[in-house]
Structure 1
Amino acid sequence: MMPYEEALSIVLSHCPTLPTEKVYLLDALGRVLAEDVISEEDRPSFDNSAMDGYAVHWEDIKDAPVELSVVGEIPAGAEGTFELPRGCAVKIFTGAPIPKGATAVVPVEHTEAKNGKVLIKEAFKEGANIRRKGEELKAGEIVLQKGTILRYYEMGLLASLNKVQVEVSRKPRVAVLSTGDEIKDLGEPITKPSQIRTSNGYTLMAGISLAGGEPHYLGIVPDEPGKLKKALSQLEDYDVFITTGGVSMGDRDYIKTLVEEVGVKVHFHKVRIKPAKPILFGTYREGKGLFFGIPGNPVSCAIAFDLIVKPALLRMQSAKDYMPKTLWAKLKRDFSRRDAERREFVRAVLSLEEQQLVCDFSPKLQSHMLTSYVGANCYMVVREGVKELKGGELVEVVLF
């Protein structure tokens, strides 16, 4: 069995870089930026007020309370400005340009206006509540770097920069093929006690979409070599091809033999992790396509995707952040296991208790229990050779 780090390194070293394309902004959510985005102007482009209130000379209010004459009003969007005389104030609204000479804005809740005058009730420091030109961005500054995964925050930022279109990496086309005589798809009747409802294909398609990919569901194929080989012959149409089931050591586990027959070069089969040990990885189309044979147990399928497949999909799109995120937390209660040969990834909940990160693992540890993900947000990592973890000690967790 291959160590996890070595397996992941092999996968990442074989990831091809996908070409780029221009898309309209609203189509860019979740995509990977393929260009540096540069600000064409200072932001803000002029000094403006951060509050509704009164623009004043700081020297006039430093000994507040003090009463000043109100000499005008500046709304947001006003064009031009004027010079503010000493001993005076101008009513101003959030986003409005600061009048020449004003060096502070006093929020309206700290004032009292009456008969053309305003009482400034307390002093504010020089420059208070003024947004200075260029304080957020300077013209020519890189705002977003190539390789950034675009969240809704970045979408708003790009809109504010007037980016109608953006250059992104093309979505990887990913085929998902489920295998097994006993698997029934959505809507199909269960006619025998030995039959089970599908889940893996839908887990993978959702995960692929969230990782920026374009999933293509090829359905469920029974454990018959002829039918499996025919389905696998579609490899060339996709950047990534994923099968679930059929990669263990049973008499009806045909995937490893069949993928080699259709042109896949297998780089490894079996990784020293629990669950998901029988992962198979290979390449096709002269190294430009990636093949993943994933175990059929639902938890094994999800873990294989999170730890091996998802980093590869992100790497293909040139994402800067493609590795699983790891941190440390205090274990809430004791954990023990009998077999310490493999690294185990236990579904767990990470929370904040008394200003400290705490990890509590799921009581459902078996690889068929997809319900172990309900409420979970991380994997607790139990390293090779470790049989016991004591409550209160620090444990490694992988976020998902």
Structure 2
Amino acid sequence: MISVEEARKNILKEIRAVGTEVISLQAAAGRVLAENVRSRRTQPPADLSAMDGFAVKAADLGTIPASLKIVGEVPAGGSYDNTVGTGEAVRIFTGAALPSGTDTIIIQEDTEFDAETVTVKEGAAKGTYVRPAGLDFSAGDIGIKAPTILTPRDIGLLAAMDIPWITVRRKPKIALLSTGDELVRPGEPLGPNQIISSNSLSIAALIEAAGGEALDLGIAQDNAESLREKVMNAKSADMLITLGGASVGDHDLIQPVLGKEGLSVDFWRIAMRPGKPLMFGNFAGIPMLGMPGNPVSSLICSFLFLIPAIDALNGLTPRTPPRQRAILTHALKENDQREDYMRAVITEETSGLPVIRLFDKQDSSMLSPLSLADCLVVRAPFAAALPEGSEVDIIPLSRCYPSI
């Protein structure tokens, strides 16, 4: 068996970023930017008023109150085409360009005015309430650097930069193949010895949330012909995920059947709980991750290995789950040779640390504790027994994977 960290390194060193495509800005939220984007315009394009009021020369405000002649008006989107002279002012509205010859805005609350004259009652320094040209960005500036997962905030910036089309990574296609005679899809007739196939749906949802495109190849029966037929549809994908059948039992067919079709195996056992029968290799030129058939095991393995692989396919720095310290509400016995990932809930916080309670049953067949869990308690191989109140490392799931 190899360690979790060694398995992660072995997987990531074989992953290459997928190609790119050009898409409209409207479709870009959540996609990974593949090229730096430079602005096509300056924002604001000219000195603009930040308030409703009067555009004046600061030099005319040496004595307050100051009486100025109103020579025009400029709304947002309009312009005043003459040069404003000494002792003159222009009525202006928020967002309008400052007329030539002015450098300051006096807000209308600080004035009294009629159709011809404005009296300035409060002075202002040069540049007051003026948004200078290029305050936000200038033409040619790099607005967003690649690689970046584009947020709604980024979309707003790109729109302001006058960018209608952008180059992004195409979504990595991840083929999913479930295996086992015992599996049926939700809603289908269920035989006396069959179970619902939850694995493919949860992993497909995780793939989509992590920035990939899930391609469900269906359920292969426990025979070579069915497995071979189903897996051939994975050759157009960027990565293959198999669910179940990766161990060495009599009904575990992944290695012997796919081995004849060109599968080369890097490793197939890992020193972790849950998730020991994890396999990684290359099938028909694409990376392949053989997940345990157990749904809890496959989800936790996906947190640790599949999500970083999807990041790498997207040209991103692979995520490493952040850890923090937490306080146990009960004792823990010593650990064995496998790194353990135990489901827990946060009950309160004390001294700045979360207080956690592990679920009484950690059986890896139980999906309900994982669904309810706030965190995973991580225990190193051969970790010593711990009394109540001890500190442990946790992976806070909401911080790592807010949409997963």
In structure 2, the residue matched to 1:146 is 146
Contact 1:62/1:124 (8 A) holds in 2: no
- Go from structure 1 to structure 2 and tell me whether the alpha carbon gap of 1:357 and 1:51 turns closer, same or farther (over 3 Å shift): farther
Is the 8 Å Cα contact of residues 73 and 91 (structure 1) preserved in structure 2? yes
Is residue 329–residue 359 contact of structure 1 (8 Å, CA) maintained in 2?
Answer: no
Cα distance, 1:147 vs structure 2: 1.8
Q: Which moved more, 1:194-203 or 1:54-63?
A: 54-63
Is this contact kept in 2: 1:39–1:140, CA < 8 A?
yes
Using the alignment, how far apart are the partners of 1:120 and 1:391 within structure 2?
A: 68
Say whether 1:345 aligns with 2:341. Answer: yes
Alignment-mate amino acid for residue 323 of structure 1? R
Residue 93 of structure 2 corresponds to which residue in structure 1? 93
Task: Give the deviation of 1:261 after TM superposition.
Answer: 2.2
Answer whether contact 2:74 2:96 (CA < 8 A) is retained: yes
- 1:9 Cα deviation after fit: 1.2
1:199 aligns with 2:195: no
Structure 1 stretch displaced more, 1-10 or 242-251: 242-251
Pair 1:395–1:228, CA change in 2 (3 A) = same
Deviates more, 1:297-306 or 1:370-379: 370-379
Which amino acid letter does the alignment assign opposite residue 163 of structure 1?
Answer: I
In structure 2, relative to structure 1, the CA distance for the partners of 1:388 and 1:114 (3 Å cut) is: farther
Quote the Cα distance in structure 1 between the aligned partners of 2:76 and 2:367.
Answer: 54
Alignment check: 8 A CA contact 2:278 2:291 kept:
yes
Q: Quote the Cα distance in structure 1 between the aligned partners of 2:354 and 2:43.
A: 41
Number of residue equivalences: 394
In structure 2, the CA distance between the partners of 1:80 and 1:307, relative to structure 1 (3 Å rule), is farther
Shift of 1:310: 1.8
Q: Deviations over 1:49-83 (max 9, x none)?
A: 3344554555777998x576583543211134555
Alignment of 1:383 with 2:380, yes or no, is yes
TM-score, normalised via structure 2 length: 0.82
Cα distance in structure 1, aligned partners of 2:127 and 2:388: 54
**C-alpha spacing 1:357/1:166, structure 2 compared with 1 (3 Å):** farther
Within-5 A mapping of 1:304-383: 304-319=301-316, 321-328=317-324, 330-331=326-327, 333=329, 336-347=332-343, 356=352, 358=354, 360=356, 363=359, 365-374=362-371, 379-383=376-380
Q: State the distance in 1 between where 2:160 and 2:186 align.
A: 43
> Within 1, Cα distance between the matches of 2:3 and 2:105?
61
Please give the alpha-carbon distance, in whole angstroms, between the structure 2 residues aligned to 1:352 and 1:88.
Answer: 65
The yes-or-no answer on 1:268 pairing with 2:267 is: yes
Cα drift, residue 216 of structure 1: 1.2
Q: Which moved more, 1:228-237 or 1:271-280?
A: 228-237
Structure 1 CA distance for aligned equivalents of residues 328 and 104 of structure 2? 51
Partner Cα distance (2:307, 2:62) in 1: 58
Shift of 1:220: 1.6
Q: CA deviation at 1:352?
A: 10
> What amino acid maps onto 2:14 in structure 1?
H
- Residue type at the aligned position of 2:16: P
Max Rg structure: 2
Q: What are the Cα deviations for residues 121-177 of structure 1, in whole angstroms up to 9, with x where unaligned?
A: 877665443322112223222222232222322223223333332222232222111
Moved more, 19-28 or 98-107: 98-107
Structure 2 residue aligned with 1:190: 190
- Give the 3-state SS of the residue equivalent to 2:395 in structure 1: strand
In structure 1, what residue type is equivalent to 2:318? Y
Structure 2: how far apart are the matches of 1:249 and 1:283? 18
Q: Tell me the CA shift for residue 268 of structure 1.
A: 1.0
Q: Judging changes above 3 Å, is the alpha-carbon distance between structure 1 residues 95 and 316 closer, same or farther for their aligned structure 2 residues?
A: same
2:176–2:200 Cα contact (<8 Å) kept: yes
Taking a change above 3 Å as real, the CA distance of residues 273 and 389 of structure 1, as seen in their structure-2 partners, is farther
List alignment gaps of at least 5 residues for structure 1. none
Shift of 1:97: 1.4
Which whole-Å deviations, capped at 9, do the CAs of 1:280-312 have from their partners, x for residues lacking one?
Answer: 111133xx4011111122222222222111211
> How far apart, CA to CA, are the structure 2 residues paired with 1:118 and 1:369?
76
Aligned twin of 1:397:
395
Shift in Å, 1:388: 3.5
The answer to whether the 8 Å contact 1:346/1:361 transfers is no
Distance 1:351 1:100, change over 3 A: farther
Report % sequence identity: 33
Q: Which amino acid aligns with 2:386?
A: E
Q: TM-score, normalised by structure 1?
A: 0.82
Contact 2:179 / 2:243 at 8 angstroms: preserved in 1?
yes
Q: How does 1:173-252 map to 2 (within 5 A)?
A: 173-192=173-192, 194-252=193-251
**Cα distance in structure 1, aligned partners of 2:212 and 2:150:** 14
| Conservation of the 8 A alpha-carbon contact between 1:22 and 1:166 | yes
What secondary structure sits across from 2:228 in the alignment? helix
TM-superposition CA deviations, 1:204-243 (whole Å, max 9, x none):
2222223332221111223333322332333423221111
Q: Deviations 1:179-213 (Å, cap 9, x if unpaired)?
A: 22222202202242x43222211112222223332
Any unmatched runs of 5+ in structure 2?
Answer: none
